[in-house]
Every structure is written in structure tokens, then in C-alpha cells.
Amino acid sequence: MPAHRIPSPTPLVWTLPTSRRTVGRQLMAALVAGLSGLVLPSAWAQAPQVPVAEVALRPVGEGLTLDGTLQAVKQSTLSAQASGRIVEMNAKAGDRVRAGQVLAVIDDRLAQAGVAQARAGVAQAEAGIAQAEVELRDAQAHLQRTRDLRAQNFVAQAALDMAEARFRAAEAGVAQARAGATQARAGESQSTLAQGFTRLTAPYDGFVLATHAETGDLAAPGVPVLTVYAPQPLRAVAHVPASRAAIAQGAQRVEIELNGPQGTLWVAPVRQTRLPAADPVSQTVEWRLDLAPEHATLAVPGQQARVRFVAGDTMRLVVPSGAVLRRGELTALYVASPAGFVLRAVRLGPDHGEAGVEVLAGVKAGDRVALDPVRAGLAGARAAQ
């Protein structure tokens, strides 16, 4: 008997008449439209209020801006003055040191033996002086007695001549003994100085910048062992191309960029020095710009800093540096509009410090930009009135 296939049941679908579906869609659209146009007073009150600044033409310094490096004015590389093994390293990089503090000790056993030998020589020379002076007193007394006897014709002239010769020899012996003592003391001083060569001491109060040797290494005259520096004073060093040296020489003012607690800070040096010759390889002229003590605390040696030689003022379109939003390769500003803030990509020029950042394209004079780009990006953000 052939099998019969049972057809699957037809699913039940609830449908509305065409007229009812149309009415439902119209009611839903009206409801959505009404809610979208409804703004609650509390939500409007909580919308972020962002301060703005107007883009305007302002006078900025025009000149030459170069990359420089901060250096410690007092920086010394301590080298050994005697050969030997380093037996003590009493400091490491970053340690604070005091003037005269012993930082490293080289094996000084030979130096100690030399000092002991020199002191023994001094003691022997002083004993020789004492003996020569005794002989001189005896010869002087003998000469006086002989003269008295000769005056009474009790001795011959030859005896008096021998007494005078003995006295002169005793005087010469004292002079020789004193010269020997002076030479022995000089030898002692030299030996003591040589012993001092085995100790490396800090030349001033400061910090250890680097160590170039370790305990057990062989030290030799002229080989660096440690580098120390004083945290103040500091100076910025910039190398001006020789082709633009006239611009730097004729600058109205010089400014150095530092990173302060409140952000970028342009400061003026307390003293500036231009080396009188150009480097024959790089064809640059070195400028040394000393920082004020209160500004030196904002930086450390080796830090990079920009140096600006301002030749004059010119009008440029600028915005506050804090208004610029940087996200990867995007550089933009939030520009205020009646509907809120609009993110607008811009092309920036150089940073003119307190005057602001120059804008080359993307905004125009009169536009208002958000000073807090993070809050300006929040939903519903508005320009503060």
C-alpha cells in the first residue's frame, strides 16, 4: 500500500486590514515626531557649557625658531690621575654629592708606602739638623777659646786657623742639613699629593650624572670614572646656521620654551653668549643662553628645548593652544554654531607661545572656538554665554 505524504500545516499569520495598518503607521510616526521635538527643561539645564574664544589677528613675534638642548653650566668628568685598581665606588648615577666627598678610591698601597718613606726621610733630616747645630755650637765655642789663647800667645796661629776652618765646616753642615730637610718635606708633600690622586672627590655640590667604571676596573690617568653636574645654573645651547646668523644677531629678543606646571612657557635668558667662530663641519654658530634660577628648576640637563630669535612683530591668525584637538593625524577645532559645536579640521603653523598657535587654514577671523575640546565633544554641548 503506497505511503501518503501528509502536508505540513499552514502557519497562522495575524494580519490587519490594509486600512488598519496604514492608520497604525500614521499614529506611530506622529508619536515619534512629537517625542523628538520635545525637550525637557532639566536636560537643557544639564547640557555642558563650554567657554569659547574668538579667532582673531594678533601681533606675534617673527624670526628664527631652532631646536636646542639644556646643559648644566657646571658639569665635570672626573678622571683618574694614578694607575691602579678601583677598590671603592661610593656613588652611582643619580646620587646627590657634596663638595669634597670621596666618590671613588684607587688602590693606594704604593702611595701609602711612598708617604711613609718620605716622612721617615723628613724625620732623619730633622735629626741631622739637630746634630749639625750641636757641632756648630761646639765649633763656635772652640773657636772662641782658641782666639782667646792666641791673643795671649798660648797657641800658634795654625791652631786658630784650624778652629776657624772647623767652625766654617760646621756652618756648612747646618746649611746642608736644613736643605736636606727642605727637600725631604717637599718629597713628603709630593707623596701626599700622589696619594690624593688615588681618591676622586666631588668638586662641588651636585648630582652624579653617570659612572664610567665599576669596582675592580683598572684606572689609568685620563680615563673617565664619573661625571657630576650641578643642577643650577642651566643654559640652553642652540646652533644657528651660519647662513642665518645675521637674523639671530639682529633679533630684538631671545626666548626659550620650557614646560611649566601650567603648560608651555616662553622665558627670556638672563645672559646670552655667542661664540665668535662657526663650526667648520656643521657650519653653525653656537649660542649659550643662561636661564634664571627660578626657570632652571623647570628643566633638567639633556632636555630638548626650542629657542626663538624674535626679529619683530607681525599680525597672524592665532587661537589658544589649549583649544586644539589632536587625535592621531587629525588636528581640529570645535567651532561654535547655533546648533552646537562643529568639529573642523585645521592646518596649524608655528606656536607663538602666549600669543597662541597660528592657524593657516580651516577657520577665519571671528569664529568662536571651544577652549575645552573634550567637553565640546559631549552630546548637547553649547557655547557658554
Residues 313-330 have a mean pLDDT of: 87
Q: For residue 371, give Cα distances in angstroms to 92, 297, 333, 341, 348.
A: 46, 29, 9, 12, 16
Cα–Cα distance, 88 to 220 (Å, whole number): 15
Q: State what percent of residues in the chain have pLDDT above 90.
A: 16
DSSP 161-208: HHHHHHHHHHHHHHHHHHHHHHHHHHHHHHHHHHHHTTEEE-SSSEEE
pLDDT tens profile 157-166:
888 889 889 8
- Out of 141-145, 182-186, 278-282, 322-326, least confident range: 182-186
Cα–Cα distance, 278 to 245 (Å, whole number): 10
pLDDT at residue 197, rounded to an integer: 72
pLDDT at 272 over 50: yes
pLDDT tens profile 296-315:
888 888 888 889 888 777 78
pLDDT tens profile 31-71:
434 434 444 444 444 678 889 988 888 887 667 888 999 99
What are the backbone angles phi and psi of residue 378, rounded to the nearest 5°? Answer: -75, 155
Q: Which three cell numbers stand for residue 230?
A: 650641578
Cα–Cα distance, 69 to 75 (Å, whole number): 14
pLDDT at 228 over 90: yes
Secondary structure letter of residue 4 according to DSSP: P
Q: For residue 272, give Cα distances in angstroms to 227, 228, 237, 255, 308.
A: 26, 24, 10, 11, 13
Residues 23-28 have a mean pLDDT of: 49
Q: Which residue has the higher pLDDT, 222 or 34?
A: 222
Lookup result for grid cell 735629626: 127
pLDDT at 122 over 60: yes
Distant-in-sequence contacts of 84-90, Cβ < 8 A, 24+ apart: 84/108, 84/110, 84/198, 84/218, 84/219, 85/216, 85/217, 85/218, 85/219, 86/213, 86/214, 86/215, 86/216, 86/217, 86/218, 86/219, 86/225, 87/215, 88/215, 89/211, 89/213, 89/214, 89/215
- In this prediction, residue 9 has a pLDDT band, given cuts at 50, 70 and 90, of very low
Which stretch of DSSP H or E encloses residue 85? Answer: strand 84-89
- What residues pair up with 337 in beta bridges, in sequence order? 340
Q: Which of the residue ranges 163-167, 233-237, 264-268 has the most confident prediction, judged by mean pLDDT?
A: 233-237
- In this prediction, residue 250 has a pLDDT band, given cuts at 50, 70 and 90, of confident
pLDDT at residue 27, rounded to an integer: 45
- Out of 142-151, 194-203, 225-234, 309-318, least confident range: 194-203
pLDDT at residue 301, rounded to an integer: 86
Domain 84-106+198-229 falls in which CATH fold?
OB fold (Dihydrolipoamide Acetyltransferase, E2P) (2.40.50)
pLDDT at residue 188, rounded to an integer: 67
Q: Which residue has the higher pLDDT, 19 or 250?
A: 250
pLDDT at residue 21, rounded to an integer: 52
- In this prediction, residue 286 has a pLDDT band, given cuts at 50, 70 and 90, of very high
Name which of 180, 177, 208, 185 is nearest 103 in CA terms.
Answer: 208
pLDDT at residue 316, rounded to an integer: 86
- Mean pLDDT of the residues in the chain: 80
Q: Which residue has the higher pLDDT, 33 or 91?
A: 91
Cα–Cα distance, 32 to 16 (Å, whole number): 22
Cα–Cα distance, 320 to 313 (Å, whole number): 18
Q: Domains of the chain: which residue ranges? A: 49-59+317-383, 63-73+231-313, 84-106+198-229, 108-196
pLDDT at 145 over 80: yes
- Out of 4-13, 50-59, 83-92, 114-123, least confident range: 4-13
pTM over 0.85, yes/no: no
- In this prediction, residue 195 has a pLDDT band, given cuts at 50, 70 and 90, of low
Domain 49-59+317-383 falls in which CATH fold?
2.40.420
Strands (E), 90-186: 96-97, 102-106
Q: What count of other Cβ atoms lies within 10 Å of the Cβ of residue 50?
A: 23
pLDDT at residue 223, rounded to an integer: 86
- Out of 190-194, 236-240, 365-369, least confident range: 190-194
pLDDT at residue 236, rounded to an integer: 93
Given a contact cutoff of 8 angstroms between Cβ atoms, the answer to whether 292 and 267 are in contact is: yes
Cα–Cα distance, 231 to 367 (Å, whole number): 45
pLDDT at residue 1, rounded to an integer: 41
pLDDT at residue 32, rounded to an integer: 39
Q: What count of other Cβ atoms lies within 10 Å of the Cβ of residue 9?
A: 6
Per the CATH hierarchy, to which homologous superfamily does domain 63-73+231-313 belong?
Answer: Efflux pump adaptor protein, beta barrel domain (2.40.30.170)
Secondary structure letter of residue 252 according to DSSP: S
